[in-house]
Amino acid sequence: MNSPKSYFVLLAISCLLLLFSVYGKIFNPHSLNNRQAKWTIYLACFAQAIYGLFQFAGWLPSSHRYFTITGSFDNPAGFTSVLAAVFPLGLYLLYNLKGWKRCGLIICQLIILSGIIFSGSRTGILAVALAFIVFILLEYRERLLKLVLPRKLVLLPIAIALLWGCYFLYQQKKNSANGRLLIWQVSWQMIKDKPLLGHGYGSFQTEYMDYQAVYFNKHPNSGLAMLADNVKHPFNEFLKVTVEFGFAGLLTIIGLYAVIVYRAIKSKDDWSSFLLSGLTSISIFACFSYPFHYAPVWLMLVFYLSLLLPKKNYHIGYSTKNIGFRVCLFAITLIGIFIIIGHVEAEMRWKKIAIKSLNGDTQKMLPEYEKLYRDSPLKKQPLFLYNYGAELNHVGHYIQSNAILAECRKKFNDYDLQMLLAYNYEQTGKIGLALQRYQHAVEMIPCRFIPLYRLFKHYKENGNIERAREYAEQIACKQIKIPSPTVRAITLEAKNFLIHNQHNPNRIPKPPFQLLTNNQ
């Protein structure tokens, strides 16, 4: 389901545009960065830091079962990206304060920094560190430019400290970092296939897992196999742009970024260091995570970029020159509000239906799922299609389930989808297709046991002892990533099979693939 915050932000912006189209008079774009706006944004993000620290202390529940600190977001990525984005704003406000107010803001900055550190976000720490360095270097650039030899003596320790810090952060969660390197390697294969214009919008979550399967098919002994998992984002916003829009899209972004940096550096306003520091923080986070998945980060980016807007007033009142524009703005905004409300209502209905289904009323909820699928905008949302297909699978409607999952496959694809497709094919007698999906799931995430077990069981039950032994050996020798009773039972069954069939390994009563082809 989509984030409620995204809908709230869209509705708020739409309502403001609606009011502006009716009552708009004088508007100064640069007023977005007045003193009151800055403090409002900073205090809102500071409250988010307090929320996270309360979660760390155990006074408030986390939104994710695996992470202690998430703030009001679904995981630490959203929480830390917002705190990292607002940290440069705190530096700017701090630079213009004195006395007890300055001391109070220093404490607030330390609280925000503590929230990032306690969340365990290495990306957040790196983003804040680089943003701080950029702010200091730019704020005191005139003094630094007067230095000749000392300037080198200052910059060299900073570079060494940054390199050492990056190495230290890498060592803290080495497997996580190596997992991202795997994702970047596979993403590069996608880019090489369509380098100029990319694979198209939304293609990453549609095609990435197939590329990961090809990667492990070509590198069956890769040491990165234990780090593989379902992947929905490359943990690099620029890499995602390149995959989906090619180097044309990436160069467009780099060009815009270069223009912004050039204007900020050439500007003599006091906000240039503040702007570049904020962009540095967001950009560094974008290199190692997915900050633009969250609406507040987009708002922070707009806030920083609004500094570049001209300091002039625009009068938009009732006149023959702009009445057409105002009418069009009103109509478009009103239509947008109705569309957003329709999505919100559909999401709320879906949530109620999904909860009842989880409580055991799946059969009764199927007509409601069908109504949502037929009449609501959710029929184009991959997560809804996956959920609907899974519920159909649960009650035994395998053919209909696969029809829905086939639609989902056009927008979203991962290991779980392949397993559902395989099981549906298996239950409807299309064994050959089922085996293909199970094998594809094995290649997508080689450290998983279930698809190997399904293949092993099939060959064992069909009397193909040699093929069953091959899969049993893979299961018995496979390193266990996360121990569980299910994995232990699968491993024990495979080992027992190998013990009881070690004296007749060449027994192959019938060629199952020929039989399977006939069953397709």
What's the rounded mean pLDDT across residues 374-402? 91
Q: How many residues does the chain have?
A: 520
Q: What is the amino acid identity at position 394?
A: H
Q: What is the mean pLDDT of residues 171-192?
A: 86
C-alpha span between 113 and 429 (Å, rounded)? 58
CB 90, CB 49: distance < 8 Å: no
- Least confident interval from 227-241, 314-328, 341-355: 314-328
Q: What string of DSSP letters covers 45-87?
A: HHHHHHHHHHHHHTSS--SSTT-S--TTSSSHHHHHHHHHHHH
Residue 314 pairs in a beta bridge with 27
Residues forming a β-bridge with 27 = 314
In the block, tokens 């940096």 appear at 261
**pLDDT tens digits for 344-378?**
888 889 989 999 998 888 888 999 999 999 888 88
Higher pLDDT, 62 or 419: 419
From 20-29, 162-171, 188-197, 313-322, the region with the lowest mean pLDDT? 313-322
Residues contacting residue 365 through CB under 8 Å, at least 6 positions apart = 353, 356, 357, 391
Residue 142: predicted pLDDT: 63
- Map out the domains of the chain as residue ranges: 29-312, 381-448, 450-520
CATH number for domain 381-448, candidates 2.60.40.1120, 3.60.20.10, 1.25.40.10, 1.10.10.10: 1.25.40.10
CA 218 to chain centre: 27
pLDDT at position 23: 67
> Are the beta carbons of 433 and 448 closer than 8 angstroms?
no
| For helices 174-193 and 237-266, angle between their N-to-C axes, nearest 10 degrees | 90
Residue type for position 42:
Y
Share of the chain above pLDDT 70, in %: 85
The sign of the CA dihedral 453, 456, 460, 462 is: positive
